[in-house]
Amino acid sequence: MAAYLVFPPVARLRGEAVVPASKSATNRALLLAAVSRDPVLVENPLDSFDLEAMARALAAMGATISQEAGGWRVAGPLRASAGGEVSLDVAESGTAARFLAALASVVPGRWRIDGAPRMRERPMAELIEALRGGGARIECLGEDGYLPISIEGATLTAETVEIDASRSSQFASALLLAGAARGGGLEVRLRAGIVSAPYVATTLAMLEAFGHSVRRDPAWRVSPGTASPRRYRVPGDWSSALPLLAAAGVAGGVVALRGLEPASPDADALAARELPRMGVDLEISPDRVVARRAAAGLRHTEIDAGSFPDAVPALAALAAGAPGASRFTGIAHLRWKESDRIAGLCDLLAAAGAGTEAGPGESELTVVGEAAAPALRRLPTRGDHRLVMAAALLALARPGCLVENPDAVGKSYPAFFRDLAGLCVWRQ
């Protein structure tokens, strides 16, 4: 049975919040710490549903993960327990599924990876094909190219692996991270294009931060380092910050966020720079980012979102308040996220009274803003954390709308509604 959340009428937003740690960086940090030569204290990690799944799976692979003041201490080595196949449950985490599949191919043991029902629908074929091409012995236990899979560890013998990352950059990142755990390293070549390329830039930067040697041209090559950092601090999450910054445009007022790195390679740091084109002014300084709705109001625009797909739901919710039609292109890979986000956004925006149209091949989305607030409506979210955050933005401008499945934000930002409510100035 679905749960719902409703906001009281909001006058404007005002205040400051500290953004949570990056989900992308915490996932990578846990894995890299687990394959490091020495224990690593991962400081300021994100504590969320997805990270719990990654931590449980790494522990099942032999890592020791303990909580300390300020973070999690992670130590290897990774190895299978005595006897039989080890099950790795990734729950609803696509990141864990992709990263662990590549990692399992270089760690001795026999591994079975499975997850929630939606995970059995999310694509793995390109990664499985690349790993098999490098010698890894992988058996698909259901439909070929999807979870569940069984992997014979330490069978990835090739020095070079080719990957098609046109549906997910996580395929490329998974191989690069596995290179840090494989004796002799690994060279990764692109067979086709790549989406969400900034996420690979994050992976390469973190490999270097953990002491590994990285070559970027003409192909990516990772050579394992001989030393590891004693500690690594996870930066703030631009993906989580974006809905709060967009909220200033939706409801008006001023929002200040701390904990972000202005020069971050994070994909959604790029997405945030699209906000001024949509009518949200930003002031970015080393210690905080401040957002306020532009004096001229919100504006429709066209955005190529191929590099930052996770930002599209929040940006689309913002566009729903702008007069005219906004178009988001390069988003075909949104179909394979926690939900089919293109279809989900069309349903959500239509329920909020905005016009939508999915473009050719569902590679683009047009949002036609509407001025009048609708009557009481339920905002469907498919249990997808990014759609829930988008629904919250829509509800700010539409008093009485019900946000479906609010608890889904626990996947990436458990305190989202607390922080958003703390920024709201309620109407008297």
Active site residue 266: no
User: Counting beta carbons within 10 angstroms of the beta carbon of residue 201, is it exposed (0 to 12), middle (13 to 18) or buried (19 or more)?
Assistant: middle
Do 344 and 331 meet the contact criterion of CB atoms below 8 Å apart?
A: no
Alpha carbon distance 213, 349 (integer Å): 45
Cβ-proximal residues to 295 (8 Å cutoff; 6+ apart), any chain: none
Alpha carbon distance 407, 404 (integer Å): 9
Q: Which of 164, 237, 266, 310 is catalytic?
A: 310
Provide the 3-class DSSP secondary structure of residue 9: coil
Do 44 and 234 meet the contact criterion of CB atoms below 8 Å apart?
A: yes
User: Counting beta carbons within 10 angstroms of the beta carbon of residue 209, is it exposed (0 to 12), middle (13 to 18) or buried (19 or more)?
Assistant: middle
Alpha carbon distance 377, 399 (integer Å): 9
Q: Find the Cα–Cα–Cα–Cα dihedral 100, 101, 103, 105, rounded to 10°.
A: 150
Do 215 and 186 meet the contact criterion of CB atoms below 8 Å apart?
A: no
Q: Find the Cα–Cα–Cα–Cα dihedral 409, 414, 418, 424, rounded to 10°.
A: -50
Do 32 and 180 meet the contact criterion of CB atoms below 8 Å apart?
A: yes
Over the Cα atoms of the chain, what is R_g?
21
Give the active site residues: 310
